[in-house]
Amino acid sequence: MIAYCGLNCSRCPTFIATRNDDDAAREKTAALYAQKFGMQLKKEEINCDGCLSEGGRKIGYCQVCEIRQCCLGKGLEHCAVCPEEPCEKLVKFHEFSPEAKAAFAALKRG
């Protein structure tokens, strides 16, 4: 499951913990996010059904992600098909996540 920006949801520790209903993984993920991003989340907040899920649970930033909202608003499958790509939001996110940038490049190649 590749998100609108290129992030691979199926590799996300939050998505994996949710899919497996694994509280130990949720605790480990909360600790990782605290260390890596300064996010203070409880294990109960580590739930996400993936960026592309409709009506599903989303974790923190994914709930308000501008890239996601933009694609939803334009009815796009992902940013790679957007005529305005690359936009500032996408470029900034790819600077933060080179992994998403690489997956996004693969989306563009089709």
Q: List the chain residues with pLDDT less than 50.
A: none
Give the pLDDT score at 98.
85
Could you tell me if residue 4 is inside a domain?
no
Q: Among candidates 60, 59, 79, which has minimal Cα distance to 68?
A: 79
Give the pLDDT score at 110.
67
| Domain carrying residue 43 | 9-109
Could you tell me if residue 84 is inside a domain?
yes
Could you tell me if residue 104 is inside a domain?
yes
Could you tell me if residue 3 is inside a domain?
no
Could you tell me if residue 81 is inside a domain?
yes
**pTM of the complete model beyond 0.75:** yes
What DSSP designation does 11 have?
G
What DSSP designation does 86 have?
S
Q: Which two tokens stand for residue 64?
A: 């308000």
Instruction: Indicate the SS3 state at residue 82.
Output: coil
CA quadruple 63, 75, 71, 30: dihedral sign: positive
Could you tell me if residue 2 is inside a domain?
no
User: How many structural domains comprise the chain?
Assistant: 1
Could you tell me if residue 1 is inside a domain?
no
